[in-house]
A and B are shown apart, each in its own frame.
Chain A
Amino acid sequence: MLELEFMRLALGAGAVVGVLAPAVGFFLVQRRQSLVGDGIGHVAFAGVAAGILLDVSPIVTALVAAVLGGVAIEFLRSKGGTAGDQALALVFYTGIAAGVVLISAAGALNVDLFQYLFGSILTVTRTDLVVIASLGTVGLAIVGLLYRPLAGVVVDEEGARVAGVPIGALNVTVAALAAVTVALSMRVVGILLVAALMVLPVSAAGRIAWSMRSAFLLSIAVGLVSVLTGLTVSYYADLPPGGTIVLVAAAVFGVALAAGALRRR
């Protein structure tokens, strides 16, 4: 399998996303915002559609739309309350509806679209890999640098706010990171399954970890292993890569759940 250029590129892109998605998703899950990744995905879909319509790279337009959507979601969330919840729904559905309208205007309700919805990791080019790897590295570096304040806000947001920690800026940073992650992961697992890669490894790690830091590192390990295993299985069994990757992550979650339950008895 490794003698094939397209598989090497796929594994490279998959590895970056396998690490980045749970690293960013960790902070969303811990703050019970698991669905934010999904919401950003909906907006990214509108971005892809705009890209196809305007004939510019859908990845670029998706990135722009995702960042705008992510920041908008964070802004609405910070207003809080039930109104905030409904505002989130508004962003989700507006995103997907705008996508559908734009895409049909472009006359592209076809294979192209399918690739973005369900991933097309086997068509990753060298240029794609360079973009994914460099943006992914920047994202990971930011997460690493901000790990302590991000973890501190998870532990006690009100306490941090009182002590003058810039909560708003941290939250916007997480939203922007989530948006970049969604845009990069689109090629690997597809818009519909991006959020799974941000959530499932984190849930799995939470069952077996012994500290917050170990939970964070295990999330990344589970993400990476799921992507590489899923890709390999999909290659030999001739299955769709995106779906296979997410099923592997779900299986790991099942195993971690059982292991955690056994340990606690």
Chain B
Amino acid sequence: MSLAIELSSVSFAYRAGHHVLEGVDLRIGEGAFVAIAGPNGGGKTTLVRIILGLERPSEGTASLYGEPAHRFSRRRTLGYLAQRSELGGDAPATVREVVSAGRLAAGGLLGPLRRRDRELVTEAIERVGLGDFADTPVQTLSGGMQQRAFIAKALAGEPSILVLDEPTTGVDAESQESLASLLARLHSELGATILYVSHEFGAVEQFVERLVLVRRTIVFDGPPQALPGVWHDPSHAHA
């Protein structure tokens, strides 16, 4: 299995002297489905932003397929659902309009979308089960359905690496379960490398092969079953 993501001795500080990440080593093979968990403020978002090349490590190196992450040449193969993604602006963008935005990089910037791109958009909408809501403004949908629309947007770009940062914030437990199983299905169907970030990993735990716990550095990395019982204690996780 070839290496998709590699972080070597990565440290990061937003302000000099205040490290939010220190000595992070992480190697993720192509096609893996990894959960990244840890307490709020533990550095999960910072970690994935470094992986995606949005931030550069203060020390150490971050690479994607062997290239420096911030100068990665095949950006269009990266899909990112940022934490607390909500629609910018107040125009009532429909599910189809949101998902079409995911075809921007891959489908070319100028003029209207070509037919093949429109097909991929429809396909992505159907994959996440929003076929009946394609022309509904996303603001009028439930939190879970909105998140599925954004996941479809990321899928429409046919990413080889898909990063979802807390995609279940503000989503009820039942939708969390169905989102997690949706991702598991997409993972097996599409073979993309998926990083699923969450501060509570209950819902996704049963689907991932690997769990990475981040708290300034990586404090656990392995199959969820191997996680020491003490980490399951919420009071500990949020300490």
Q: What residues of chain B lie closer than 8 Å to A164, measured between beta carbons?
A: 75-76, 78, 105
B12: Cβ under 8 A from any A Cβ: no
**Which residues of chain A from 190 to 212 have any CB-CB distance to chain B below 8 Å in the complex?**
205-206, 209-212
Q: What residues of chain B lie closer than 8 Å to A158, measured between beta carbons?
A: 54, 80, 82, 85
Q: What residues of chain A lie closer than 8 Å to B92, measured between beta carbons?
A: 206, 209-212, 215
CB-based contact B91/A152 at 8 Å: no
CB-based contact B97/A212 at 8 Å: yes
**Which residues of chain A from 111 to 158 have any CB-CB distance to chain B below 8 Å in the complex?**
145-146, 148-149, 151-152, 154-158
A21: Cβ under 8 A from any B Cβ: no
CB-based contact B54/A161 at 8 Å: yes
CB-based contact A211/B82 at 8 Å: no
Q: What residues of chain A lie closer than 8 Å to B106, measured between beta carbons?
A: 163
Max chain A Cβ within 10 angstroms of own Cβ: one of B90, B112, B135: B90
Max chain A Cβ within 10 angstroms of own Cβ: one of B82, B109, B137: B109
Q: What residues of chain A lie closer than 8 Å to B88, measured between beta carbons?
A: 30-32, 154-157
CB-based nearest B residue for A155 = B101
Closest Cβ of chain B to A66, distance in Å, is 24
Closest Cβ of chain A to B120, distance in Å, is 14
Q: What size tier do the contact residues of chain B reach?
A: 35 or more
Residues 198-240 of A, flagged 1 when their CB comes within 8 A of B and 0 if not, give 0000000110011111011000000000000000000000000
CB-based nearest B residue for A206 = B90
Closest Cβ of chain A to B134, distance in Å, is 11
Closest Cβ of chain B to A181, distance in Å, is 18
Residues 121-138 of B, flagged 1 when their CB comes within 8 A of A and 0 if not, give 000000000000001010
Closest Cβ of chain A to B4, distance in Å, is 15
Give A154 to B153 CA distance when docked, in angstroms: 13
Closest Cβ of chain B to A71, distance in Å, is 20
Residues 72-108 of B, flagged 1 when their CB comes within 8 A of A and 0 if not, give 0001101111100101111111100110111011100
Closest Cβ of chain B to A265, distance in Å, is 14
CB-based contact B150/A156 at 8 Å: yes
Give A32 to B86 CA distance when docked, in angstroms: 14
CB-based contact B110/A32 at 8 Å: no
Q: Which of B54, B76, B80, B109 contacts A146 (CB 8 A)?
A: B109
B157: Cβ under 8 A from any A Cβ: yes
Max chain B Cβ within 10 angstroms of own Cβ: one of A162, A165, A166, A209: A162
Q: What residues of chain A lie closer than 8 Å to B135, measured between beta carbons?
A: 211
Q: What residues of chain B lie closer than 8 Å to A26, measured between beta carbons?
A: 91
Which residues of B approach A to under 8 Å, CB–CB?
52-54, 75-76, 78-82, 85, 87-94, 97-98, 100-102, 104-106, 109-113, 135, 137, 150, 153-154, 157
9 additional contacts (CB under 8 A) given A31-B89, A156-B85, A164-B78 = A29-B89, A30-B91, A152-B100, A155-B153, A162-B80, A165-B104, A165-B109, A210-B137, A212-B91
